[in-house]
Amino acid sequence: MKILTVVGARPQFIKASMISDVLKTRANADEVIVHTGQHYDDNMSSVFFKQLELPKPDHYLGVGSASPGKQIGRMLEKLERIMVSVRPDIVLVYGDTNSTLAGSIAAANLHIPIAHVEAGLRSFNKKMPEERNRILTDHLSDWLFCPTPAAVKNLGREGIHRGVYQTGDIMYDVLLHFKSRALQQSNILKELSLSPKHYDLTTIHRAENTDDTGRLKAILKALQQLKRKVVFPLHPRTKQKIQAFGLTHMINHPSIKTTKPLRYFDLITIASEANTILTDSGGLQKESYMLKVPCVTLRDETEWTETVETGWNHLAGADPKKIIHTVQALKIPQVHPPLFGDGKTAEKICTILERS
Ligand code: UD1
């Protein structure tokens, strides 16, 4: 079984690490890793390969940043060439980025079966590129590995029943595998002079927040008005937009501590010791649940509805009053059901693919 894995963005390196690890142990599996180069900064890409022990990519496409059309187009052309020469049995894609969509379209054009990890998620907001990427990818896929029952239901509503498996969430596998090593090895609390549970963690990178001056300004205003110590690792996109919109003064504030994007071990350490997490990231919403840290989501909707239903996650959009009120009213819920599986998602996915 020859699997061609397409990755390109930071969360995909994290997700792919566990499946690559399991594939290495399967005698009849051969994995070829293609990195599109969607994320290319060292601290967005190579540090993850090193820390999570991902094999070096066999092919690096170097597409870099561009408008969605250009970026996906560049990926498609290069992926097609590689798929024709590698001739994989399966193309494996993760999540909902432009790299996911390009991998699926290239494979579909060549009639290569597609496996989609993190299938079935929906925000029901087609303005988000991620929503379009995941809908299109799901409809092209032959194996759809869903993290939750809600994801299975979403696919059913769109008429997708064949090849659907509820396997649990791959990010939970990664967290279980690396958490204790992360807590042992990371010095980030010391480096940033943070005391456990005496700070909040925030991340913003979604286009709907970063590319809209009004929303970005409103979120930064909320962070200032919270009057609590907030650690804010800056995604390159967010940093550029803050500068371009002339908002740098808003993050130069005594209670806001900005940092460069964090390595996985540092992020997990800082997240697990945070009082509250405020984020627009899908991955961090899940990780905050897994780490039992309450989350305030800086979006109007979420794909991870179970985290909201269980009371661990709260939607606050980009409205400063709502954000501050939500943070101040937070209570730690009594219940914490296992929403994301048993940490054996990678094993299950590899076994299903092997049986095919
Ligand atoms: C992408 C995904 C998003 C995912 C996120 C994780 C899409 C549509 N979005 O968003 O779903 O949650 O990755 O981080 O695929 N940049 C750099 N260096 C880098 C990477 C990006 O400077 O290594 C800057 C560039 O200015 C670029 C901008 O960030 O234009 C946005 O990068 P891009 O890859 O287009 O999307 P993300 O915002 O990272």
pLDDT in tens, 246-275: 999 999 999 999 999 999 999 999 999 999
Rounded Cα distance between 131 and 98, Å, is 11
Q: Distances in Å between the alpha carbon of 340 and those of 147, 266, 307, 320?
A: 6, 22, 10, 31
38 lines ligand 1 (CB under 6 A): yes
Rounded Cα distance between 159 and 216, Å, is 37
What is the atom index within ligand 1 of the atom nearest the CA of 38? 34
65 lines ligand 1 (CB under 6 A): yes
Please list the ranges in the chain whose pLDDT falls under 70: none
Question: What is the DSSP-derived secondary structure letter of residue 116?
Answer: E
Rounded Cα distance between 155 and 100, Å, is 18
**Are residue 289 and residue 349 in the same domain, yes or no?**
no
41 lines ligand 1 (CB under 6 A): yes
Q: How far is CA 190 from the centre of its chain?
A: 26
What is the atom index within ligand 1 of the atom nearest the CA of 129? 8
129 lines ligand 1 (CB under 6 A): yes
- pLDDT tens for 149-198 read 999 999 999 999 999 999 999 999 999 999 999 999 999 999 999 999 99
**Are residue 161 and residue 258 in the same domain, yes or no?**
no
- pLDDT tens for 135-152 read 999 999 999 999 999 999
**Are residue 158 and residue 60 in the same domain, yes or no?**
yes
Of residues 37, 38, 4, the one with CA closest to residue 110: 4
Question: What is the DSSP-derived secondary structure letter of residue 16?
Answer: H
Q: How far is CA 201 from the centre of its chain?
A: 16
> What is the total residue count of the chain?
356
Question: What is the DSSP-derived secondary structure letter of residue 336?
Answer: -
42 lines ligand 1 (CB under 6 A): no
Greatest CA span in the chain, whole angstroms? 57
Total domains present in the chain: 2
Contact 48, 39 (CB under 8 A): no
With H, G, I as helix, E, B as strand and everything else as coil, classify residue 295. strand
CA-proximal residue: ligand 1, atom 21 (nearest): 39
237 lines ligand 1 (CB under 6 A): yes
Q: How far is the CA of 328 from the centre of ligand 1 (A)?
A: 31
* Residue 137 domain boundaries: 2-169+341-355
Give the pLDDT score at 354. Answer: 94
What is the atom index within ligand 1 of the atom nearest the CA of 95? 11
Give the pLDDT score at 215. Answer: 98
CA-proximal residue: ligand 1, atom 12 (nearest): 281
Give the pLDDT score at 253. Answer: 96
Q: Is residue 91, in this structure, part of any structural domain at all?
A: yes
Six token digits for residue 96: 């909902």
Residue that the structure tokens 């286009």 belong to: 207
Q: Is residue 123, in this structure, part of any structural domain at all?
A: yes
Give the pLDDT score at 97. Answer: 98
Rounded Cα distance between 267 and 273, Å, is 10
Give the pLDDT score at 356. Answer: 85
Of residues 189, 180, 198, 331, the one with CA closest to residue 274: 198
Q: How far is the CA of 325 from the centre of ligand 1 (A)?
A: 30
Rounded Cα distance between 311 and 330, Å, is 9
Q: What's the CATH number where 69 sits?
A: 3.40.50.2000
Six token digits for residue 63: 């597409």
**Are residue 154 and residue 271 in the same domain, yes or no?**
no
Give the pLDDT score at 163. Answer: 98
ipTM of the complex in this document: 0.95
Specify the DSSP element, H or E, that contains 353.
Answer: helix 345-355
Q: Is residue 61, in this structure, part of any structural domain at all?
A: yes
Q: Is residue 58, in this structure, part of any structural domain at all?
A: yes
